[in-house]
Structure 1
Amino acid sequence: MKEIRLQRLFQNGGCLDIAIDHGVCNEPSFLDGLEDMPAVVDALVQAQPDAIQMNYGQADLLQRRPGRTKPALVMRVDMGNPYNATVHRVMWALLQNKKDPVLPAVQMDASCVVVNLFMLPNEPDLFRQCVENISIVRADCDKYGMPLMIEPLVMRPHSEKGGYMVDGDAEKIVTLVRLAREMGADIIKADPTADANEFHRVVEAARCPVLVRGGGREDLRQVFARSRTLLDQGAVGMVYGRNVYQHQSPQAVVKALMAMIHNGASAEEAWALYEGK
């Protein structure tokens, strides 16, 4: 069953997954552009990425739609507080359904589930919670034939920018990605390395399909340029959120990224597609 579900995600070996699961982060700044979820899902379904990443409580907006051509559902099954601008006294990461975490994804006919593997400075208990979560989810994935996407996140200390920032150190990312693979990941959702030309090391450590995680909204030309380099380094696609749904024309961004992932378009060609919206 895993193979059947994976076929929904990976068209021609690649995948563009648009993440709109930010509501469980409990961070107001993440919700800009996601206020009207029915309208967001309408726009993304029309744009036709390979997948949309959502939580159980909003997944009906996608899965109740008739027809066979809608994007595949990737369902998040955990939540936590590391994304908040506030410094918390206690850091935590919990499964949304600890007893049977993958069952809601099966009931919603998801193609994959995703769970975090946080590594924050001086937060060993948060790391332990994530390892525990993954162990529970992996066993459930095996029971239901559900692909498991693990999201290894190496963070820098809480900064003046208001939040834990991504640590692009290749050595740290490679080490955590290797751990995720050792724990049974079928797909890795990884941060880009600070030097995108080192990303092949992440791909080698994963030994399974690697999708590149996005982050905060950036200049779109830079996003396209970095994406092309990461694809050339062996990534098979992207999981982008704010760099898509916070743009005025998400459909144009999706069109450009799909051309890069599935047709080998250059960054310049992707930009031309975007401008032709």
Structure 2
Amino acid sequence: MSKKEKITVQGTEITIISGKNDDYICLTDMVKGQEGEDHIRNWMRNRNTLEFLGAWEMLHNPAFKGVEFDTFLHEAGANRFNMTPRKWIEATDAVGMISQAGRNGGTYAHKDIAFEFGSWLSPVFKLYLITEYQRLKEAENNPMLGEWNVKRVLSKVNYTLHTDAVRDFIIPKMDVEREKAYAYADEADMLNLALWACTAKQWREANPEYAKKGLNIRDTASINELVVLANLESFNAELLKRDMDKSTRYACLHEMAERQLTRLNAIDAEKGFRKLGAKK
């Protein structure tokens, strides 16, 4: 179980170690900055917790020692009763939890158990934990998703360069404040028209089901389209610096978008991205 990954849940970085079929989430990370292992021990002293842990082991672990479990269950609830992950593992041969020593060690639990612990900590924290875990799994199962996110970030970075150019080379030429307010959206829509032949408003009207979810035309773009969009943003910023009029810029951008997208689709660039993702 050597593969390690991290997710961030409500500002807390949590380690996940993965084997062939199972993922184990670090409980120690989940309570980092709080009472640490005390939280874990207090949770394990709870009779309901022990019943859950025992039920999980009986479902997944043929070597689970039921007699020792019954003894613990009988003692649970008494003031003197104490339970730790290591004690639980050594006494019952449990496989649902892992206790690692050392600087990078800690207590790990199978995702089923980790979600249960998260619920004990806070139902809201559990929901965020499940969401981030699922996001990680989706990215692993679909290499294109990770590549899409990279390209989406790239287009956003280039968008900053684009808006800076609008601020520096278009806004100063405008006298009417109302026109200044629409300048950024107007330039962004010119790129939309050059690439997708529609404005952001036209796309929302044509795709109300996506608009209701807060998605826009760029959120639903393909990787090839995002690559071209990033190039258009950079190119338009340069054209603005050259004081080129809008109609001429649009003609250049439209020609560039058509040529690049046709070429990327022809060589199946997205398939190339998939191959790169598979090698990681």
TM category, shorter: under 0.3
Whose helix fraction is larger, Structure 1's or Structure 2's?
Answer: 2
Whose strand fraction is larger, Structure 1's or Structure 2's?
Answer: 1
Q: Provide TM-score, normalisation by structure 2.
A: 0.20
Q: Which has the higher contact order (CA 8 A, sep 6+)?
A: 1
